[in-house]
Amino acid sequence: MNPLFNYLLKLADDALIFGQRLGELCGKGPYLEEDIALTNIALDYLGQSSYLFKYAAQVQQLGKTEDDLAFLRVEKDYLNCHLSELPNGDYAQTILKVYFFSVYLQLLYQGLMSSTDTHLAAIAEKSLKEVRYHYTHASTWIKMFATGTEESNQRLKNAVENLWEYTAGIFAETEGEQDLVRFDIVPDAKVLYEKWKTLVTNDFLEFGIEIPENSFMQKRSRTGYHTEYFGFILCELQYMQRTYPDCVW
């Protein structure tokens, strides 16, 4: 398997599944402006996945389209991180998922802008503008949850406890990824993880939120093994394409 193809799928699947999850909240936001904000973030993720799937199809050179890759693979072929699959939960958990992911994507796209692959660098440059907004939006809400009422603070702490063990999986590598690192095509995921932990730790210190003491992290992200929630997401995601073959975005 082409390492670049694997890597593109990893990024595209993250964006697709995250966008699909957030899309579930359309019409269900706590108030109109926030409903629109979350829907726009979901659309940003879906747009990023479209660019990445399109490029992945070009790299694969098997005559497939972005829609084939997005909708017509089986569960074990998806390489998204487990965090993207988890239920939205209450509003604190939803926002915290966006926060964790946006910190990662800012670091990732900043690194990819220096990629020797000019196509990947161009995707990163366009996407970085979007995820900077996602980070601002999510971090603002987290600060309000942390410093708001006793209930909002407790809900945020519960969300941290629920999600923290899935965060390392964001940085799990795909087969052949280190070859891409050596050729300066992609940034090293291990380096990104250390930067991510530093930024999150500093933010949490400002928010007054403690990092969980338990160092356990869920494993097997990006290996084709998924949480129990993924099959349900996939059924909903693929329904139109399998019911009406060859329909397009």
Tokens of 170: 């964001």
Q: Which of 161, 178, 172 is nearest to 226 (CA)?
A: 172
User: Is the per-residue pLDDT at 32 higher than 80?
Assistant: no
pLDDT mean over 167-171: 98
What's the whole-number mean pLDDT along residues 105-131? 98
Query: Is the model's pLDDT at 245 over the cut of 90?
Result: no
Q: If you average pLDDT over residues 183-210, what whole number do you get?
A: 97
Among 6, 154, 162, 155, residue whose Cα is nearest residue 82:
162
Among residues 166, 156, 243, the alpha carbon closest in space to that of 208 is found at: 156
Once rounded to an integer, what is the mean pLDDT over residues 9-29?
Answer: 93
Query: For residue 249, is it within any domain?
Result: no
DSSP-assigned states of every residue in 66-107: HHHHHHSS-GGG----GGGGS---SHHHHHHHHHHHHHHHHH
Average pLDDT for 162-186: 97
Q: Do the domain assignments include residue 248?
A: no
What does the pLDDT look like over 201-216, one tens digit per residue? 999 999 999 999 888 9
> Does residue 31 register a pLDDT over 80?
no
Give the model's pLDDT for residue 249: 61
In this structure, is residue 138 part of a structural domain?
yes
Mean residue pLDDT of the chain comes to 95
Q: How many CB atoms lie within 10 A of CB 137?
A: 19
176: containing domain? 3-243
Answer yes or no: is 182 within a domain. yes
- 79 belongs to a structural domain: yes
For residue range 53-95, what is the model confidence (pLDDT) as tens digits? Answer: 999 999 999 999 999 999 999 999 999 999 999 999 999 999 9
The structure tokens listed for 236 are 């909903």
Check residue 168 and report its DSSP letter. Answer: G
* pLDDT higher than 80, residue 1: no
**Number of structural domains, the chain?**
1
Tell me if 173 sits within 8 A of 99, measured CB to CB: no
What sign results for the dihedral spanned by CA atoms 142, 26, 132, 222?
A: positive
Q: Given a cut of 90, is residue 151 above it in pLDDT?
A: yes
Per-residue model confidence (pLDDT) at position 247: 78
Contacts of 222 (CB under 8 A, 6+ apart): 10, 79, 80, 81, 169, 172, 173, 174
Evaluate whether residue 55 is within a structural domain: yes
Evaluate whether 95 touches 145 at the Cβ level (below 8 Å): yes
Pairwise CA distance, residues 71 & 69, whole Å: 6
Neighbours of 148 (CB within 10 A): 13
Least confident window among 26-40, 154-168, 181-195: 26-40
Q: Can you give the pTM of this predicted structure?
A: 0.95
Here the CATH number for the domain that contains residue 53 is 1.20.1260.10
Tell whether 7 is covered by a domain. yes
Task: Take residue 119 and report the two structure tokens written for it.
Answer: 């196509």
Gap between the Cα atoms of 50 and 62, Å rounded: 18
Q: Do the domain assignments include residue 205? A: yes
Q: Measured between alpha carbons, how far is 170 from 112 in angstroms, rounded to an integer?
A: 16
